[in-house]
Amino acid sequence: MAHSYKSQYPRDVAVEPSIVQFFENFYAVSDTPDAHDVYVDQFTDDATFILASKVSRGRDGRSLSVFFCPNILKVITSVSTDSLAEIRSTRCGMWSAVSSRQHTVFKVFPFGSSAREFMLYGTVEFGFRNGQQGAVDWAARAEMSQEGGRWRMSFYQVYLVSSVVYLARSLNWICTNLTQDTGSQVYKKE
């Protein structure tokens, strides 16, 4: 059976069909490795995008990430004049260790009829560049805005839920790769 990006919505709450289509398209784009510019175009110019501990926000593109690893606390900050450049950077980072991904969005919960705020949940399956496979449950909060005659997200936060084993592998990969970044400050725990 072919994969679908269609989701369930509450039967008694009206959701604009163009927003339903937006979410279907967004996750299809999210699963397309080289569609970085198309992905970024799904956000407003002043959007806030939060992925786990990575925050990209505002027009000044300030980003703060904090990673906790055994024996290492690493704080990375960067400033850009283009907030979409921050979102693009986060998007590229999402593909750095991943060769494939496939989102399944089970349900979308609007905050009332004609809502512009939504909660979503689903799973995402990963193929990693090292040949391993993985899957993680996720939830997200999205706030929609009209910009340029179409829907875009002005706020998007993703919450990841995973098994202890998957989380341990991910943290190990993050710690290994972050300590190789020479442009950031690394604080070793004594």
The mean predicted confidence, pLDDT, of the chain is 79
pLDDT for res 174:
56
What value does the mean pLDDT take over residues 161-176?
Answer: 57
Domain assignment of residue 9, yes or no: no
CA distance 44 to 26: 14
Q: How far apart are CA 44 and CA 66, in angstroms?
A: 25
Domain span including residue 118? 17-188
Q: In what order do the strands lie in the sheet with 98-110?
A: 98-110, 117-128, 133-147, 150-161, 43-51, 54-57, 62-69, 72-78, 185-188
Reported as type and span, the H/E element at residue 130 is none
Pick the more confident residue, 74 or 110: 110
How confident is the model over 30-72, as pLDDT tens digits?
999 999 989 999 999 889 999 888 888 643 344 444 433 343 3
For range 165-175, the mean pLDDT: 55
Q: Is residue 2 part of a domain?
A: no
Decide which of 69 and 85 is more confident.
85
Tell me what pLDDT residue 124 has: 95
Rounded-to-integer distance, Cα 72 and Cα 175, Å: 8
The verdict on residue 10 lying in a domain is no
Q: Is residue 129 within 8 Å of 99, Cβ to Cβ?
A: yes
Side chain identity at 148, as an amino acid letter? G
- Residue 11 inside a domain? The answer is no
Evaluate if pTM is beyond 0.85. no
In a domain, 12, yes or no: no
Q: For residues 87 and 119, which has the higher predicted lDDT (pLDDT)?
A: 119
Number of domains into which the chain is organized: 1
Confidence tier at 108 by pLDDT (50, 70, 90):
very high
In-domain check, residue 3: no
At residue 83's C-alpha, the angle toward residues 78 and 85, to 5°, is 75
CA-CA distance, 87 to 43, in Å (whole number)? 9
The candidate with the shortest Cα–Cα distance to 110, out of 172, 38, 169, 22, is: 22
Question: Any idea what the CATH number is for the domain that residue 104 is in?
Answer: 3.10.450.50
| 70 in any annotated domain | yes
Residue type at 188? Answer: K
In a domain, 6, yes or no: no
- Tokens matching residue 26: 């967004």
Query: What pLDDT score does 109 carry?
Result: 96
